[in-house]
A and B are shown apart, each in its own frame.
Chain A
Amino acid sequence: KQEVTQIPAALSVPEGENLVLNCSFTDSAIYNLQWFRQDPGKGLTSLLLIQSSQREQTSGRLNASLDKSSGRSTLYIAASQPGDSATYLCAVKRETSGSRLTFGEGTQLTVNP
């Protein structure tokens, strides 16, 4: 059974700091990995999707990397801003699970002005 873990559960940083969020998964037979952002009381917004054949994806100040063999992904946020404060979730799609995603519990990020 695929399990996804995110560390840390919560993170508080001063504005302008670069930071890394971690995601690990137990079954390396994944199809892709997706990073989402969730604001309080809201749905999820897709940030980056990395296919299993890719090593990283970038969008603006965000960079996500994938090491499939070690079961790890990181989300790097450069020059953090208070508007980045949210919960960040990663989710993996297994090769054999069709469209099903397995989610981590999320990292709650607070960026202090």
Chain B
Amino acid sequence: DGGITQSPKYLFRKEGQNVTLSCEQNLNHDAMYWYRQDPGQGLRLIYYSQIVNDFQKGDIAEGYSVSREKKESFPLTVTSAQKNPTAFYLCASSISGGGGKPQHFGDGTRLSIL
């Protein structure tokens, strides 16, 4: 079945450590997105990519980095500069960046500080 796979489901970070969250999709979607969700809050956009080898900052990009070397993959690195990384991270994709097509979501990665 087509879908979006995020891994790992749970991740723990030590102080000063960079960690990478994986997002893979087999939907043949051009656009991919990373969101952060804090308890009782909506989703906030971290980074998005509308095409391979191109990506843009969202509303809360500081302390995060991404790459888009393949259409299927959009990994997110949470760097040591992100001082409050504990959150639920969601990856999404859509057919194209524009237009009225819905975004499809993975099951998320929960990141905690050790």
Residues of A within 8 A of B (CB): 4, 9, 31-32, 34, 36, 41-46, 49, 51, 89, 91, 93, 98-101, 103-106
Chain B's interface: helix, strand, loop or mixed, by majority? Answer: strand
A98 to B45, CA, bound (A): 13
Q: Which of A41, A98, A101 has the most CB of B within 10 A?
A: A101
Whether A89 contacts B43 in the complex (CB less than 8 A), given A41-B110, A98-B97, comes out as yes
Q: Which of A41, A45, A99, A105 contacts B108 (CB 8 A)?
A: A41
Whether A99 pairs with B33 at a CB distance below 8 angstroms is yes
Number of A-B contacts (CB under 8 A): 62
Interface-centre pick from B35, B94, B100, B108 (highest chain A CB count, 10 A): B100
| Residues of chain B having any CB pair with chain A under 8 Å | 4, 6, 31, 33, 35, 40-45, 48, 50, 58, 88, 90, 92, 94, 96-98, 100, 102-108, 110
**Do A51 and B100 have beta carbons less than 8 Å apart?**
yes
- Return the contact of A103 from the options B43, B102, B104 (Cβ within 8 A): B43
A-B contact list, 20 entries, CB within 8 Å: A9-B40, A32-B100, A41-B108, A43-B6, A43-B106, A46-B104, A89-B43, A93-B100, A98-B50, A98-B98, A99-B48, A99-B94, A100-B45, A100-B48, A100-B58, A101-B43, A101-B45, A103-B35, A105-B40, A105-B42
